[in-house]
Structure 1
Amino acid sequence: MIVRSRAPLRLGLAGGGTDVAPYCDLYGGHVMNATIDRYAYATLCPSKDGLCRFSALDGGAYEEWHSEEAIPTEGPLQLLKGVYNRVVREYMGGKVVPLDVKTFSDAPPGSGLGSSSTLVVALLQAFVEYFNLPLGEYEVARLAYEIERKDLGLAGGQQDQYAATFGGFNFMEFYANERVVVNPLRIKDWVWAELEASLVLYFTGVSRASADIIDQQSRNVGESKQSSIDAMHSLKREAVQMKECVLRGDLRGLETTLQAGWEAKKRTATSISNPLIEHVESIAFANGARAAKVSGAGGGGFMMFLCDPENRLRLSRALIDQGGSILDFHFTAQGATAWRIS
């Protein structure tokens, strides 16, 4: 038997960073995001020789371990081994099962599309299908969060795991004690289509380590730096405003909200923007963009721009001239899914 799975990557539209402790513990966080038809994939199949094999097909990393060995989580395959160890420990009673585990993603780490967390969700969904684990959407997302943030000690928030698991347009609420509420939004068809036609997604060609930015944001809140806290409050308000604009089909209001959220985001940590991002942003506004934002923590990765659809081609050409690339995409309503091959 072979089990395959996929989970969608996401665009962080508003409120990103308010899902990270200590801010969400102290004040509560609000995030608006949407998933797109770019995915992280996983495959599980039995190993017949007693070895556990882990392969990241897109990165070329490979490791194998005897099934009776404790599998360390260090190295480039820590996400794969972290998921495997947690499932074995929590649901197999510690009994190691020899498996071949393979993954790949449509986006590189540091892209700002939540690729690492999405990969963990795809892996977990494959394990749920393979072992018939009794886990629903909230349980999968929560477990993915715990594996990344607690088991592996990787800095970050909570929105990516829930976005990848649930899929679609979601308004998310984050509270103390890691309580999360996901509110799926019913977007009118014409709004969905107009957003796809208006949104240009540009890869700067520079991946970044989000952990450093997130650490700085968390320190600023923990040290009660009022300017950073006020900026986080603004991000939270913009997420609420964006939800209302999307539901009403107020596209001009959405442009204003996206830009205001980006300006607030830049005030939460000094490394979120840089000369490259600012240069690309200026080129975009000179070629029809009405609003701009970096997806994810900032510092690089993907940038998104809203424009009139008539200006989409001109804007895309101007951005490509800066040395990056345009990612064509569609929004998707489906979250993580898995299937069996006999």
Structure 2
Amino acid sequence: MIITRTPFRISFFGGGTDYPGWYREHGGAVLATTIDKYCYITCRRLPPFFEHKHRIVYSHIENVCNNHEIEHPAVRAVFNWANVFDGLEVHHDGDLPARSGLGSSSSFTVGLAHALYGLRGQMVSQHTLAKDAIHIEQNLIGENVGSQDQISAAYGGFNRIDFHQDDSFDVSPIILSRYRLEELHDHLMLCFTGFSRIADAIAKSKIDNLKNRETELNRMREMVDEGIAILTDSHVSIDEFGKLIDLSWKYKRSLSDQVSTPEIDQIYDEAMRAGAIGGKILGAGGGGFMLLFAKPEKHAAIRERLKNLVHVSFNFDDSGSRVVLYQPNGL
């Protein structure tokens, strides 16, 4: 039996430039961090005593005899990619809801691929895990997804990720003093808007519009450098980082009319009136989690103003996808 633990992520700047349709022509970059909220995948070989061959347990339970019968698209794609023939049982547990803008689907793909490597007795690099997950999601499943979520999930940590025209990428950890990192953390709030969304359709609307948004996407990529410059200069107020998030949200909203909704706009306006400096919907948009940036003394007022939403406390994570239980002889 193997259990993998793979973190979710928060993306600050550069989202949109991680789509292959963009970076293969222009290059791209994002600034993102993983957090201590995780996707857990439990995987074990299934003894041949059942009517079914595979058992997959998530929000549904699937008992199937062949890979092609699997309804879960990521499990089906990963099993086929890994040439899974022996019976397997897979359980998924997540700390936060799916389809919420935290890269949970990529965390799932990375975590499952990691578990299958482990079942074969193979250790795998972070780079290979990320590349495999990108291939599975973009080419095998055919999802309209970028490439940052898989890399963040595999590597973990607070990183600048650069995407190159030849599909290669570089991961550069952001080095900050403990005080500056804690200062950033203490200014961040994470709240659930109350509704999930299917990211694929929203992402497709953005991808279809990439050529019409070159100015916006180039500016959003520049914000990666600006955000890092703010964080690494202790003489610059951390509030400038929040103002940049606010600006990035305005640009992100322009990428597609599906990124925001009247409900999201109202939540954002209420947070700003209560003292937030900036914020954004995480992920493709349309729902899920909203990241807010505010002085710590304003957090209580913002929570009161948004008291109908679920607020989630979190810390930064730097571990990436990990095998947390390995019992190669256990069923």
TM-score after normalising by structure 1: 0.90
CA offsets 1:290-323 (integer angstroms, 9 cap, x no match):
1111111111111111111111111112112xx3
Mapping for residues 151-170 of structure 1, pairs under 5 Å: 151-170=140-159
2:203 maps to what in 1? 214
Pick aligned residue for 1:246 from 231, 254, 274: 231
**Aligned residue type for 2:326:** R
C-alpha contact (below 8 Å) 1:295/1:303 kept by paired residues: yes
Residue 233 of structure 1: SS of its match in structure 2? helix
- Once residues 134 and 326 of structure 1 are traced to their aligned partners in structure 2, the CA distance between those partners, rounded to angstroms, is 37
Go from structure 1 to structure 2 and tell me whether the alpha carbon gap of 1:199 and 1:41 turns closer, same or farther (over 3 Å shift): same
Correspondence for 1:120 among 102, 109, 133: 109
Take 2:12 and 2:53, find their aligned partners in 1: how far apart are those partners? 39
2:276 is matched with which residue? Answer: 289
Partner amino acid, structure 2, of 1:148: E
Match of 2:216 among 221, 231, 236: 231
Shift of 1:46: 1.6
1:78 to 48, 60, 73: 73
Q: Quote how far apart the aligned CAs of 1:86 are.
A: 1.0
1:269 aligned onto 2:256: yes
Give 2:176's aligned residue: 187
What is the correspondence of 1:196-211 to structure 2 with a 5 Å cutoff?
A: 196-211=185-200
Identity of aligned residues (%): 26
Where in structure 2 are the equivalents of 1:44-123 lying within 5 Å? 44-49=43-48, 51-57=52-58, 59=59, 61-66=60-65, 69=66, 71-72=67-68, 75=71, 77-88=72-83, 96-123=85-112
8 Å CA contact 2:62, 2:70 repeated in 1: no
Q: 1:279 aligns with which of 252, 260, 266?
A: 266
Task: Specify whether residues 73 and 282 from structure 1 end up closer, same or farther in structure 2 by C-alpha distance, changes over 3 A only.
Answer: farther
Q: CA deviation at 1:74?
A: 5.9
Q: Which amino acid in structure 2 is aligned with residue 78 of structure 1?
A: P
- Whether the aligned pair in 2 keeps the contact of 1:196 and 1:330 (CA below 8 Å) is yes
Asked if 1 retains the 8 angstrom alpha-carbon contact of 2:242 and 2:277, the reply is yes
Structure 1 residue 26: deviation in Å?
A: 1.1
Separation in structure 1 between the aligned mates of residue 167 and residue 69 of structure 2, nearest angstrom:
24
Q: Which residue of 2 aligns with 1:92?
A: none
Is residue 200–residue 316 contact of structure 1 (8 Å, CA) maintained in 2?
no
Distance in 2, matches of 1:309 and 1:117, equals: 31
- How many residues are paired up? 323
Mapped to 1, the partners of 2:69 and 2:229 lie a distance apart of 42
SS in 2 for 1:34: strand
Residue 53 of structure 1 and its aligned partner are, at CA, apart by 2.4
Q: Give the distance between the partners of 2:55 and 2:152, measured in 1 at CA.
A: 25
1:132 Cα deviation after fit: 2.2
Q: Which amino acid aligns with 2:228?
A: K
Deviates more, 1:241-250 or 1:325-334: 241-250
The two structures, once aligned, show a CA RMSD in angstroms of 1.6
Please list the CA deviations of residues 91-125 of structure 1 after superposition, one character each: whole Å capped at 9, or x if unmatched.
xxxx6122111112122222000010111111112
Checking the alignment, whether the CA contact within 8 Å between 1:294 and 1:301 is kept in structure 2 is yes
Q: Which runs of 5+ in 1 are unaligned?
A: 89-94
CA shift in 2, pair 1:202/1:73, >3 Å: farther
- Structure-1 residue corresponding to 2:317: 332
Instruction: Tell me, yes or no, if the aligned pair for 1:73 and 1:82 is still in contact at 8 Å.
Output: no
Tell me by how many angstroms 1:262 deviates: 1.0
